Structure 1
Amino acid sequence: MKEFKRAMTFFYHYLKRYKPSFVIILVMTFIATYLQVKAPEYIGNALNELVKYATKFQILKAKHLPTSGASKDAFVEVIVSLILFYVFSSAATFVSSMVFSRINALSTNRMRIGLFNKLQKMQIKYFDRHSDGDILSRFTSDLDNIYNAMNQVLSQIVSGSALLIGLLIMMFKKDVQLAWVTVASVPISFILAWIIITKAQKYVNLQQDEVGKLNGYINEKITGQKVIITNSLQAETIDGFIGHNENVRKATLKGQIYSGMIFPLMQGMSLVNTAIVIFFGSWLAVNGDIKKSVALGLVVTFVQYSQQFYNQIAQLSSSYSMIQLAITGARRVNEVFDEADEVRPTDGVALTGIDRSVTMENVDFSYLPGKQILHDVNIEVDKGQMIALVGPTGSGKTTVMNLMNRFYDVDHGAVKIDDVDIREMDLDSLRSHVGIVLQESVLFSGTIRDNIVFGKPDATDEEVIAAAKQAHIHEFIETLEDGYQTKVSEEDNLFSTGQKQLISIARTIITDPALLILDEATSNVDTVTESRIQKAMDNVIQGRTSFVIAHRLKTILNADRIIVLKDGKIIEEGSHQELLEQEGFYAELYNNQFVFE
C-alpha cells in the first residue's frame, strides 16, 4: 500500500498541470458513459416495440384485417435513436482518447527529462554502485511500462469507473430487484481478483528488478566483448546470460500466469451472472413481479447491463499487470529521485586558482560504513609541484583523487585549497579549476573538435589546435580526411587507445586547470605510445599543481615528491632518489619493476 501511495504521488506530480485537459476528458467521459448506459434501455424498448408490432400484426392477420394498421414507426424511431447514441458515444470516446494521448506523451516526456536532469545532479557514488545497464533500464523498460500503462490503462480506469457508476444508477433506477441480482456476485469476484492480484504483485516487482540486473549484465559483457573473445570466455558468458535470463523468465512467467487468470475469471463470472439474471428475471415475470408486457425487454436490458458491468470489471482487473508494472516503474524511478544530490553551498567560496597550496589534513574516509579506506592521511602540495602517488592496488590512491575533486566527502579531516575547505567552495567553481585524465579515456559522439572543446565550448580554433599540439595529437588529426571535423562514434575503431587518451589530454589542456589529476593515464598503452603520452603529460603538468597516479614508476621519476600508500596509510614520502636510498617499500617496487622489464 505504501508503494501504491508513493506511485500515486509520483503520477500526480507529473499530471497535475494538465487539469484543464482532464476537465475535457471528464466531460467527454460523462457524455460517452451516459449514452452507453442508456443504450441497453433502448435495446429493451426496441424489443418491446417489435413484440407489440408482431402481436398486432398477427391479430390483424387472424381477423383478415389490413396489416398496415400494425405500424413499425415506433420500432424504427428507437433503432435510429440507438444508432445516434452509439455514434455520439464513439465520438466522445475518441476525443477523450486523443486528449489522454497528448497528456501521456507530454507527462512521460517530462519524466524522462526530469530523470536525466536528476542524474546530472547526483553524487558519483550512485554511479559507482549501480551498473550502467540498471540505470539505463529505468529510462527504457520502466518508463516504457509507465507510458504503456498511462496510454492504455489510465483512460480505461476513468471511463470504466464512470461506466460502472452509471450502470449502477441505471440498474437501480430501472428495477431494484434485478439490480441487486446483477451485483450480488460482485463481492465474490473482487475477493477472487484480490487474491490473484496479491500473488501477482510479488512476481511483477521481481520481474523488473531482474530485468535491471539482466540489462546490467548485457551492458557489461558488450563493453568487455574483446576481453571475452581474447580469453575464449564466450561459453561462460553465455552461461551467465542464461542464468540471468532464466531469472527474468521465471519471474515474468509467474507474474503473467497470475495476471492472466484475472480476465478469464471475470469472463466466467460474467457468464454465470448473465445466467442468474435471465433465471431470476424469468422467475419474477412468471410470478407476476414484472409486467409481462415489458418482461422480455426488461430481462434483455438487464442482460446487457450485466454483461457491460462485468466487462468493465474484467477489463479493469485484467489491466492489473500493466498497472503493477507502472507502479514498479514509478518505484524504481523514485529510487533515483530519492538519492541525495551533491551538496552545493549556496554561498560557496569561488575558487579563482591556487595561490599557495593544496592540503589533506588528518583525512579518514570509507566508501561503506565499517570499511575504512584512508587512515589519518596528511598531504601538502605547494603551488606548481608535481606529486606522485604509488602503492599496491587497493592502497587508496584513486580515493585520494576522488576526494580532491570532491566526488566524495571525507569522514574526518579536511581537503583544503589555500586553507579553504573545499566543502565550503562553490562546486562548479572547484570543478572548473580541476582537470582529470582518467585511466579509461572517454570520447563522446560528435567530432574530434567537439570532444576537445567539451569542457570549454567557446574555445577558438587557435586554442583547439594549440591544445592538440601540446597533447601531441595534432599531426595525427591533420592526416584524417576531415581533420578536426572527423566524426567520433562508438561504432567505429578509428582511434587507438593511445590516440583516445591524447585527445582526452587535449580536452584537459584546453580548460587550463589550476589543479591537474592524472589517474594512471599510461597504463593501457604500449611503450611507444606511453612515451608520446608522457611527453603530452609533461606539457600539461608544467607550471601546474598536479597529482599523478602511476603503476609504471619510470613515468614519475621527475616528481617533486613521491608519496607511497599502503592499506590506506602513507608509509613513505620523498623524492625518487631519497626513497631509493631508504631501501624501503618503494625501492622494492622500483627494483621489481625493472627486474621484470
Structure 2
Amino acid sequence: MSSKSGPTAHGRGPGHGPGGGSMVMGGQKVKDFKGTLKRLLQYLKPRRNKLIAVFFAAILSTIFSIIGPKLTGIAITELFEGAYGKLQGIPDAAINFGKIGEILLFLVGLYIFSSLFTYLQQYLMSDVAQKTVYDLREDVNDKLQKLPLKYFDGHSNGETLSRVTNDIDTIGTTLQQSLTQFITSIVTIIGVIIMMLTISPILTIITVISLPVSIFVIQPILKRSQRHFADQQRTLGQLNGHIEEIYTGHQVVKAFGYEKKAGEQFDSVNEELYQAGAKAQFISGIIMPMMSFIGNLSYVLICVVGGILVTQRAISIGDIQAFISYSKQFTQPIMQTANIANIIQATVAAAERVFELLDEVEEVKEDTSIQLSRAKGAVAFEHVDFGYGENLLIQDMNIDVHPGQTVAIVGPTGAGKTTMINLLMRFYEVNGGKIKIDGIDIQNMSRKDLRNSFGMVLQDTWLFNGTIKENLAFGKEGATDEEIYAAARTAHADHFIRTLPDGYETILNEEASNISQGQKQLLTIARAVLANPPIMILDEATSSVDTRTEVFIQQAMNRLMEGRTSFVIAHRLSTIRDADIILVMDQGKVIEQGTHVELLEKNGFYADLYNSQFSERTAG
C-alpha cells in the first residue's frame, strides 16, 4: 500500500471488557527478578563511562560531606577545652577563635565542593537516565512496527500504551532519582563506618549491629511488597486499557446504554488497583518506621555509652558529638537503601512488562531478495490454507486474477472475505500454499514493497489528529497542493472540504469526530486516489455514505479502478455487477466464481443472495 492509504484500524468495543487481552496476563509477582535486572543493566552499558564519572562524583561529594562532622567535632572540642580551662582558672586558658575560624572556613569550603560534585553527579545521571529511557522507547517503537496483527488483536491499545508510557516512565524515574541516591547511600555507609572507627571502635560496633538487625527485619517485608508492586503495574495496565476502550467508543457506550456496566467494570479494576497499590505502599511504608525505631535504639545506646566514655576521658566531647552525627548519617542511608530496594521492586516489575513486549513473537522475517517495482497487478492464490488456530478457516483456496481485473468478493459474515485481504497484505502469514504478485511469491519480497503496491479504503476509516490536507498528503510523500486538491475532487470530497470554516486547513481531532462518517470515508478515498497504487482494495468502501453520495463515489471508484487490479468486498451486490470476477465465499472456501450474469444463470448461492437483496429493496 501502501500503507500510504492508511493502515487497518482495529477498534474494540465495550464487549471486550477491561483491558481486553490484558485480563489473561499472568504473573502475580516478578517472574525473573535477577534476569530482568541484569537485562535492564545492559541498557546502561553504552553509558558506563558517564556512570563511572557519576560514581566518582558521588564518592567525592559524600567524602566531603562526611568529613564535616569530624571537623565540627574538633571545633567544638577546641571551644569546650578553652571555655572549660577558663572556668577551672587555668592560667593562659583561652578560646582559640582563630583556629576555630580556620576550621569553620575549611568546613564551608568542603561543603561547597560537596555541593558542586552533587550537582555534577545529578547532571550526568539525568543524561544517562534520559538516554537509557530513549533507547528503551526506540526499541519498543521498533518492536511495535514488527509485531504481527495477531498481537494487536489479542491486546488492548491501553495495555500496550501502559507499557510504553507508564512502565518506561517508572524506569526513567528510578534511574534519575534512585540510582544516584543508592550510590551515595552505599558510599556514605562505608565512609561513615571508617570515620566512626577512627573515633571509637566500641561505639562503632553498637551502631553497626543495627545493620544486620535492620536487614533481618525488612527482608520479609520486601518479599511481600514485590508481589504487590507487580500487581499494581499489571492492574494499572488493565485500567488504562479499559479507559482507552470505553472513552474512545463513548458514542457506542451511550447508544447501547452501556454506561452502568462500563462503570461497574471501571470500579472493579479501579478497586483492584487500589487494593494492590494500598498494600504495596503500606507494606513498603512500614520499612521506614521500623528502620527509624532500630536506629533510635542504637542512638540511645550510643548516647549512654558515649557519655560514660567522655566522663572517663576516653574520647573528647567533640568526638562524641561527631559520632552522634555519624550515627544519624549511618542510619539515614540504610533507610534510603531500604526504600530504594523497595522502589527497585516496582521498577523491575515495570521493566519485566516492557521486556515481555520486546520478547513478543515478531512477524516472519522478510526475504528481500526480490525487489518489486511498480506491480502490473497479476494476483494468484495457489492452494492457500489459513487458520487463526488449529482449525483452518481457509482451505485450498485457488484464485487467478489478471492485471486490471476487478474482483468482487461476496459472502455471509465470517466467510473469510477480510481474512483473504489480510493474507494478501501479509498482515497474517499463510499456513500453506502461496500467494503471488506478478508471479513472485509475496514471501520473497519485503512487506514495504508489497504494501506499496496496494491502496486501501476500509469500512473503518483511519484518520489522525491534524489538518485535512495533512491527512490527504499521507497518501503520497511530497504531494503538491494541486495533487491533493485533484484527488479530493476525484473523490467528490473537495466541495464539502471547502464548506468547512478552515477548508483544507481544518484540524481533525483525535477521533475525527468533528466531521461525519460519510465525510471521513470520502477523505480516505481521496487519500487512496492520491496514492495511485497499481492494486486497490475496497472493503465496504461505500457502506457509510448516503445513496446519492454512493453514486458519486462509485463513479470515482470506476475511474480509480481503470487499468488497476481491484479487490472489492461488498454486501450490496448491486454495486459489483460489472466486476470481471465475482468470488462467492462461504466458510473459508470459494464456492462459486464467475461474472454476475454467469452466477445468476447458475441459480446457486450467489443468485439466492442477489435475489434476496433485490426482494428486500422491492419490498422497501
TM-score of the superposed pair, with normalisation by structure 2: 0.88
SS at match of 1:185: helix
CA–CA distance in 1 between the matches of 2:71 and 2:231? Answer: 48
Aligned length: 588
Greater shift, 261-270 or 312-321, is seen at: 312-321
CA–CA distance in 2 between the matches of 1:306 and 1:387? Answer: 83
Residue 546 (structure 2) aligns with: 526
| Distance apart, 1:167 and its partner CA | 1.8
Are the aligned partners of 1:148 and 1:322 in contact in 2 as well (CA < 8 Å)? Answer: no
Where do 1:28-107 residues align within 5 Å?
28-60=57-89, 69-107=94-132
Residue 340 (structure 2) aligns with: 319
CA–CA distance in 1 between the matches of 2:533 and 2:78? Answer: 90
| Distance apart, 1:73 and its partner CA | 4.3
SS at match of 1:372: coil
Are the aligned partners of 1:502 and 1:536 in contact in 2 as well (CA < 8 Å)? Answer: no
Residue 359 of structure 1: which of 380, 405, 409 is its match?
Answer: 380
SS at match of 2:388: strand
CA–CA distance in 1 between the matches of 2:181 and 2:95? Answer: 44
Are the aligned partners of 2:210 and 2:295 in contact in 1 as well (CA < 8 Å)? Answer: no
Residue 466 of structure 2: which of 438, 441, 446 is its match?
Answer: 446
Residue 419 (structure 1) aligns with: 439
Residue 190 (structure 1) aligns with: 215
Q: Residues 485, 69 of structure 1: CA spacing in aligned structure 2 closer, same or farther, 3 A cutoff?
A: closer
Deviation string for 1:495-548 (max 9, x for gaps)?
221121111112112222122111222233333333333333222222211211
Greater shift, 142-151 or 12-21, is seen at: 12-21
Q: Residues 96, 354 of structure 1: CA spacing in aligned structure 2 closer, same or farther, 3 A cutoff?
A: closer
Are the aligned partners of 1:564 and 1:572 in contact in 2 as well (CA < 8 Å)? Answer: yes
Deviation string for 1:149-168 (max 9, x for gaps)?
12221110111111112222
Greater shift, 258-267 or 459-468, is seen at: 459-468
TM-score of the superposed pair, with normalisation by structure 1: 0.91
SS at match of 1:436: strand
Residue 136 (structure 1) aligns with: 161
| Distance apart, 1:226 and its partner CA | 1.1
Where do 1:169-184 residues align within 5 Å?
169-184=194-209
Can you give the 5+ residue segments of structure 1 that lack an aligned partner in the other structure? Answer: none
Q: Residues 344, 70 of structure 1: CA spacing in aligned structure 2 closer, same or farther, 3 A cutoff?
A: closer
Where do 1:196-595 residues align within 5 Å?
196-282=221-307, 292=313, 294-343=315-364, 345=366, 347-355=368-376, 357-368=378-389, 370-490=390-510, 493-595=513-615
Q: Residues 526, 249 of structure 1: CA spacing in aligned structure 2 closer, same or farther, 3 A cutoff?
A: farther
SS at match of 2:590: strand
Are the aligned partners of 1:48 and 1:294 in contact in 2 as well (CA < 8 Å)? Answer: no
Deviation string for 1:325-364 (max 9, x for gaps)?
3222222222232234444546431223444731111212
SS at match of 1:428: helix
Opposite residue 579 of structure 2, the aligned amino acid is A
Opposite residue 566 of structure 1, the aligned amino acid is D
Deviation string for 1:65-85 (max 9, x for gaps)?
6x7645454444444443433
CA–CA distance in 1 between the matches of 2:377 and 2:495? Answer: 37
Opposite residue 247 of structure 1, the aligned amino acid is E
Greater shift, 266-275 or 453-462, is seen at: 453-462
Q: Residues 257, 460 of structure 1: CA spacing in aligned structure 2 closer, same or farther, 3 A cutoff?
A: same
CA–CA distance in 2 between the matches of 1:297 and 1:280? Answer: 15
Opposite residue 358 of structure 1, the aligned amino acid is V
CA–CA distance in 1 between the matches of 2:345 and 2:93? Answer: 61
| Distance apart, 1:405 and its partner CA | 0.7
Q: Residues 543, 222 of structure 1: CA spacing in aligned structure 2 closer, same or farther, 3 A cutoff?
A: same
Residue 45 (structure 2) aligns with: 16
Are the aligned partners of 1:446 and 1:487 in contact in 2 as well (CA < 8 Å)? Answer: yes
Opposite residue 431 of structure 1, the aligned amino acid is R
Opposite residue 256 of structure 1, the aligned amino acid is Q
Greater shift, 561-570 or 103-112, is seen at: 103-112
CA–CA distance in 2 between the matches of 1:441 and 1:401? Answer: 16
| Distance apart, 1:100 and its partner CA | 1.8
Opposite residue 37 of structure 1, the aligned amino acid is I
CA–CA distance in 2 between the matches of 1:587 and 1:398? Answer: 22
Q: Residues 285, 53 of structure 1: CA spacing in aligned structure 2 closer, same or farther, 3 A cutoff?
A: closer
Residue 168 (structure 1) aligns with: 193
CA–CA distance in 2 between the matches of 1:69 and 1:453? Answer: 87
Opposite residue 33 of structure 1, the aligned amino acid is T
RMSD: 2.6
CA–CA distance in 1 between the matches of 2:305 and 2:598? Answer: 103
Are the aligned partners of 1:344 and 1:427 in contact in 2 as well (CA < 8 Å)? Answer: no
| Distance apart, 1:295 and its partner CA | 4.9
Answer yes or no: is 1:122 the counterpart of 2:147: yes
| Distance apart, 1:102 and its partner CA | 3.0
CA–CA distance in 2 between the matches of 1:4 and 1:135? Answer: 22
Residue 145 of structure 1: which of 156, 161, 170 is its match?
Answer: 170
Are the aligned partners of 1:522 and 1:530 in contact in 2 as well (CA < 8 Å)? Answer: yes
CA–CA distance in 2 between the matches of 1:594 and 1:389? Answer: 18
Q: Residues 222, 173 of structure 1: CA spacing in aligned structure 2 closer, same or farther, 3 A cutoff?
A: same
Greater shift, 244-253 or 107-116, is seen at: 107-116
Are the aligned partners of 1:35 and 1:89 in contact in 2 as well (CA < 8 Å)? Answer: yes
| Distance apart, 1:492 and its partner CA | 6.1
CA–CA distance in 2 between the matches of 1:162 and 1:220? Answer: 48
Can you give the 5+ residue segments of structure 2 that lack an aligned partner in the other structure? Answer: 1-29
Q: Residues 208, 527 of structure 1: CA spacing in aligned structure 2 closer, same or farther, 3 A cutoff?
A: farther
| Distance apart, 1:56 and its partner CA | 0.4
CA–CA distance in 2 between the matches of 1:134 and 1:582? Answer: 50
| Distance apart, 1:476 and its partner CA | 2.5
| Distance apart, 1:48 and its partner CA | 2.7
Q: Identity rate of aligned residues, in percent?
A: 39
CA–CA distance in 1 between the matches of 2:484 and 2:512? Answer: 23
